[in-house]
Amino acid sequence: MLAGSGGDILLLFDYIHTAMSAGVSPIQTFGLNLKLPEMLMACHQAGKVLDASTLSFGTRVRWFAICFVAGIVCSILGTALLWLPKGIKLFAVFYTLGNIAALASTCFLMGPLKQLKAMFEPKRLIATVVMLLFLVLTLCAVFWWNKKGLAMLFCILQFLAMTWYSLSYIPFARDAVIKCFSSCLG
């Protein structure tokens, strides 16, 4: 059975049907010397590379857990290093690496393409861009600008952006947070 989405397979069959109804063979249409089953298998293999379903469910969950735990460990390690002489820089770097690892962990559950598509859906586009911006700005503040206070501010904003981004995956969570803050503030 093919691992790609049903829409991709239907699109492929529609393309082949259109070509054949115009009197062109599928082999000529694709410019390949392949038979139809070989073409379908080639499309299947290309889809498997970009789809998380090529990994078994157990492997996907295992790598999700490894990346997620690594992200938590990096964040905790960064917090522990905060009290060292150059601790703010270490904190910013480890905290950012922890967030990147936690974000990457979901690629194992959803697959990288589905993750990117979900990240850049209209309802979470702004949250994604802001979150990625603060990840980059935190590292810039640490490595290029050498501004410890700015790095700490960007870490706080990174936390808030990551939280707002994460809430976008929970139905009505953003609305609940907005209502909670609006009722608390007045």
pLDDT digits (tens, 9 = 90+) for 83-130: 888 888 889 999 999 999 998 898 888 888 888 898 999 988 999 999
Summarised one tens digit per residue, pLDDT across range 34-83 is 444 554 454 444 445 445 467 888 888 999 999 999 999 999 999 898 88
Instruction: Using the Cα atoms of residue 30, residue 34, residue 35 and residue 40 in order, give the sign of their dihedral.
Output: negative
pTM score: 0.64
Angle, alpha carbons 51-118-155 (nearest 5°):
115
